[in-house]
Every structure is written in structure tokens, then in C-alpha cells.
Amino acid sequence: MTTLGTIAITVATISGITGALAFLLSLANKTIANYGEMKLTINDSKDFTVDGGETLLSSLVDQKVFIPSACGGKGSCGYCKVTVIEGGGQILPTELGYVTPDEQKEGIRLSCQLKIKTDMKIQIPEELFSVQQFEYRVEFIKEVTPTIKHLRLMLPEGEELQFKAGQYIQILAPKYKGNDEEVYRAYSLASSPLDKKAIELYIGLVKNGVATTFVHDYLKPGAKLTVVGPYGDFFYQETDREMVMVAIGTGMAPIMSILKFMRDSHIKRKVTFYFGARTKEDLFEIDTLEQLEKELPNFRLITCLSRPTEQCQWTGEKGRVTDLLEKFLENCADQEAYLCGSPVMIDSVMPILMAKGMPETQILYDKFE
């Protein structure tokens, strides 16, 4: 036999074996991994029939039960925790970074990682049953800085979103050129909960970010956008304490919602907002905040720039928000704080507040991770 003949037979044999393996794998997938229909019981009161083999998170979404999933199911936010009473099996390596040993003992799991392979019983907070999904219409998208867009989204006719000032929603970014998967991402509501017809968001562009590229480059006024919510335990507290608010960048969004809510509800509590940015250009919606200063009798806005340029012609405070707190805040044992923005900012502000006497239980925060 010629060398060419030997090569041809070898290639044909390898192709045959590969084909047979692919067939066996697909057969195994259809039989072994086909778990069939399973029963999912929530809070001992609601039974659903779901397809086995799917993640718990996506099975819940199919049943219109929306668990928070700020990273869109990537296993990197830890927001999608549920308590599994029965049928969860062993905790997975991908969950370990987010579920503490104590939580593991209570059966807490990441619903985006856990697959349903047997009948399952879970427990979730009752308020998650009131989370709704609507198709909003984009009323406007305005650029407030070169990297931050202000969006106003109109609710469908006759619908209403009940939320607390400070909470967030998730948008569903669809597939677009260069992105072939739909993803949910979390954004804080910036409007007053008393504005019943629409919601507002501030969305900062993240380089190569799936959802933010969609919003900044593809989303247009008039388009429809799927929104699910509300979520979150960072919201306005009904107390009489003086309030300290700290934010940088788009972390200002939920603070804006709380301030507008206080204005609309004629709440006259003393409140100081420390708002930081790099340059004057990044210090957005200052006109709106200054207007709120006129409308809210006990509200004071204090801004600072960490990297003012010559063009900024900045005569105000220089440095980071932590410098502002060191300078302006005295004993704050009887005050409560609302912190919002990057994890680094929040982790550096917390010890300052506690050193000035604020108990940890009076500090609320939302980390944009």
C-alpha cells in the first residue's frame, strides 16, 4: 500500500471513532443528563413542575419568580442565594466563595450554580413574589458625562412599580452585534417612588461591559427594554436620625431617589450628602442636587474632586470623600449613613464612620460589584 493510502485509511479510522464518540456523548446527554420533570416546592406552599437539569435560578425565572441575580448568573455576585431544604446535594466549588460555612449549615445555596436533578424544596423571602417583569419604553437617554447616561423609562399603560427609595432593578440586555447572550444587570433606581409612571437610571460605561455597551451604543429612545424588580435591602429608613450620605460616580443614583422621595413626602430630616468625583466633568446632575438643596430645608450638599484639572477651575473641596468625612463629620453616634458606589470606597468609609461613633447597624450600603 502507498503512503497516501495509509494516511487515507488512518484519517478515515480517526473520523469514524470521533463520530462514534460524538454520537455516544449526545446519546448520553439525552438519556443520563435527561432528568425529566421535577417538583419544585417554594415556602411549603407553592408547587411547580420544572425541567430537571436546568439551574434553579432559570427554573424560577420560567415560573416568573425573580431572584436577584446582579451578575446575570455568572456566579460572581452572590445575590441569588436561596435556602434549600431538600434536594440540593453537595455544595459546589463555584459556590464556596459566596456561601459562608454558617450559611452552608442553614442550606443556603447560589441558585444560579445549583442544577435541579431531583425534586427540590426551597425557601425564599415572601417579598420576592411581588417582583415584577415589565417591558418599559425608553423615553429618553441623555449623556450627563462622557461615560454616564441618564435614562427615563416609561411603564406600560396602567402598570405601577411599587418600590422603596434606594432599591434597584435589573435590566435584560439582549443579544447584539458582538454579544451573543442575554444578560441581566443591576441598576439603582434614581427616581422617586412617588413618580408612578416612569423610572430613571444612571448607567456608567464599563469598557467591554456587556450591558453598558448595549445601553451606551445600541439602546435608543422609543425602544422597549425588559426590566425586573424591585430588589434590595438598601432603602430609606423611617427613623428620625440625622442622615449622612456618601457616594461616588453612579453611586449617586439611589441617593438621588431617596432625596427626591424626601422632597415629595415633605420629610424635613437633617441630611448631608458627600459626593465625590475625579474631575468637574464627572460631577454630574449638580443642578438637580442644588435644586433639591433649595427644596429640602435641612439638606446640605458637599462635593469634592480627587483630580481637578486646570480646566476645572475648581475652588471647592479637593481630595476623596473620606477626606470630607474626616474634615466635616464630628461624633455621629446618633446618625445613620447611606453609602453607595464601588466596594473600595465603601470599605474605606465604614471604618471612618465607626471611628466617629456610628454603630455598624446604622450604616447601610450598596456595593456596585
Ligand X SMILES: Cc1cc2nc3c(=O)[nH]c(=O)nc-3n(C[C@H](O)[C@H](O)[C@H](O)COP(=O)(O)OP(=O)(O)OC[C@H]3O[C@@H](n4cnc5c(N)ncnc54)[C@H](O)[C@@H]3O)c2cc1C
Q: Which residues bind ligand FES (CB under 6 A)?
A: 69-71, 73-80, 110, 112
Question: Taking the complex as a whole, how short is the minimal distance between the CB of residue 214 and ligand X, in angstroms?
Answer: 8
Nearest to 127 by CA among 212, 233, 23: 233
**Shortest distance, CB of residue 283 to ligand X, whole angstroms?**
16
CB-wise, 88 or 204, nearer to ligand X?
204
**CB closer to ligand X out of 250 and 272:** 250
| Cα of 42 vs its chain's centroid, Å | 24
What is d(CA 144, CA 188) in angstroms, rounded to the nearest whole number?
Answer: 16
Partner touching 73 among ligand X, ligand FES, none, CB below 5 to 8 Å by kind: ligand FES
Contact between 353 and ligand X (CB under 6 A)?
no
Does 185 sit near ligand X (CB under 6 A)?
A: yes
Write out the binding residues for ligand X, residues 215-254 only, by CB under 6 A. Answer: 232, 250, 253
Q: Does 147 bind ligand X (CB under 6 A)?
A: no
- The CA-based dihedral angle spanning residues 96, 101, 102, 108, taken in that order and rounded to the nearest 10 degrees: 30
Q: Which is nearer to ligand FES, 80 or 84 (CB)?
A: 80
Smaller CB distance to ligand FES: residue 71 or 256? 71
305 CB-near residues (< 8 Å, 6+ apart): 276, 277, 278, 279, 280, 283, 312, 314, 316, 317, 318
For residue 254, whether the previous peptide bond is cis, meaning omega lies within 30 degrees of 0, is: no
CB of 72 to ligand X, least distance (A): 7
Number of H helices, E strands in the chain: 8, 17
- 40 vs 231 by CB, closer to ligand X: 231
For residue 75, the partner it binds in ligand FES, ligand X, none, with Cβ less than 5 to 8 A by kind, is ligand FES
DSSP 23-48: HHHHHHHHHTT---EEEEEETTTEEE
Helices (H), the chain: 3-31, 56-62, 101-105, 210-213, 252-264, 286-295, 321-328, 343-355
CB 183 → ligand X: shortest distance, Å? Answer: 6
Q: Select the residue whose beta carbon is closest to ligand FES and give its number.
A: 112
Distance from first CA to last CA of the chain, Å, rounded? Answer: 65
Picking from 331, 329, 325, 364, the residue whose alpha carbon sits closest to that of residue 348 is 325
188 binds, among ligand X, ligand FES, none (CB under 5 to 8 A by kind): ligand X
Give the CA distances from residue 219 to residues 71, 139, 189, 240, in Å, rounded to whole numbers and listed in that order. Answer: 20, 11, 18, 41
Provide the Cα torsion 20, 21, 23, 26; round to 10°.
180
Cβ proximity to ligand FES: between 66 and 235 the closer is 66
Residue from 11, 17, 24, 206 that binds ligand X (CB under 6 A)?
Answer: 206
Q: How far is the CB of 10 from ligand X (least distance, A)?
A: 44
Q: Smallest distance from the beta carbon of 131 to ligand X, in angstroms?
A: 14
Interacting partner of 99 out of ligand X, ligand FES, none (Cβ under 5 to 8 A depending on kind): none
Under rule CB under 6 A, residue 362 binds ligand X: no
Q: How far is the CB of 243 from ligand X (least distance, A)?
A: 20
Q: Which does 80 bind (CB under 5 to 8 A by kind): ligand FES, ligand X, none?
A: ligand FES
**Taking the complex as a whole, how short is the minimal distance between the CB of residue 225 and ligand X, in angstroms?**
14
Binding-site string for ligand X from residue 76 to residue 105, where x marks contact by CB under 6 A and - marks none = -x----------------------------
Question: What is the residue whose three cell numbers read 486646570?
Answer: 310
Close Cβ partners of 186 (under 8 Å, ≥ 6 residues apart): 68, 70, 77, 79, 168, 169, 170, 231, 368
Q: At closest approach, how far in Å is the CB of 126 from ligand FES?
A: 20
For ligand X, the binding residues (CB under 6 A) are 70, 77, 168, 183, 185-188, 202-204, 206, 208-212, 232, 250, 253, 366, 368-369
